[in-house]
């Protein structure tokens, strides 16, 4: 908690986590699997998840009991300017005050220059925080897993973070009214830890390929966690 950017997510997430967990458990029959796979004592943890709904960044921290992980979770997001075509209330949330308070930090577009693009995220992980990344880069509108980007490989390599493949299912195309009818059934499934293993004498191009391959491997594990 010694870093200033920890405070808003810490206050917001911890204050609403229990309430939202009860809400989703009752109205969306939220089921959480695989908590035993998360090595909370490791410190640096990246949750790598599929992304099919606006609810994903909320469901993942809500699925982890506060007593197991009292600190906040951080996120990678797109720069605010890429959300400008949304409605006024979504513009407030996406890239706005709510995003920042929930722990989202935008990437800096750097043409595969991961050190430039993910500088803040690397710093956050070095401070032994948890981070959630959607390796596909954007939300999947057809509910299928898309090709992954290599940023997660870079962060895992440079920080020594453990990666937890995470699958959120049942949320794709969910309408708000369904949350109050009992028709929804959400599942968050945490998989076994994954570690990147790359040589230390690769060229820049070879590192990019290695990071991309690791990201694709992670997403295959995420897909394997899918529950009907």
Q: Scanning the structure block, which residue is given the tokens 């709510």?
A: 98
Q: How confident is the model at residue 84 (pLDDT cuts 50, 70, 90)?
A: low
Q: How confident is the model at residue 92 (pLDDT cuts 50, 70, 90)?
A: low
Between the alpha carbon of residue 34 and those of residues 51, 134, 159, 215, 225, the distances in Å are 18, 19, 24, 20, 10
In the chain, what percentage of residues exceed pLDDT 70? Answer: 88
The beta strand positions in the chain, using DSSP E, are 31-33, 45-49, 73-77, 104-106, 130-133, 162-169, 187-190
The pTM score is: 0.90
pLDDT for 87 beyond 60: no
Domains of the chain: 4-224 (3.40.1130.10)
């Amino acid at each position: 908690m010694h870093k200033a950017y920890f405070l808003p997510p810490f206050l917001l997430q911890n204050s609403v986590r229990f309430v939202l967990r009860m809400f989703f458990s009752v109205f969306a029959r939220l089921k959480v699997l695989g908590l035993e796979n998360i090595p909370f004592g490791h410190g640096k943890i990246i949750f790598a998840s599929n992304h099919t709904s606006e609810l994903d960044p909320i469901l993942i921290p809500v699925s982890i009991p506060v007593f197991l992980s009292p600190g906040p979770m951080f996120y990678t997001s797109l720069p605010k300017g890429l959300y400008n075509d949304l409605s006024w209330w979504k513009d407030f949330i996406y890239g706005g005050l709510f995003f920042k308070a929930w722990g989202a930090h935008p990437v800096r577009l750097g043409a595969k220059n991961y050190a430039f693009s993910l500088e803040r995220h690397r710093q956050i992980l070095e401070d032994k925080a948890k981070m959630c990344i959607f390796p596909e880069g954007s939300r999947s509108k057809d509910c299928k897993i898309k090709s992954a980007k290599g940023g997660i490989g870079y962060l895992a390599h440079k920080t020594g973070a453990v990666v937890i493949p995470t699958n959120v299912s049942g949320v794709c195309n969910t309408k708000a009214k369904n949350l109050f009818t009992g028709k929804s059934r959400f599942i968050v499934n945490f998989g076994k830890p994954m570690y990147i293993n790359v040589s230390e004498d690769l060229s820049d191009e070879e590192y990019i390929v290695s990071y991309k391959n690791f990201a694709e491997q992670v997403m295959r594990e995420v897909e394997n966690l899918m529950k009907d």
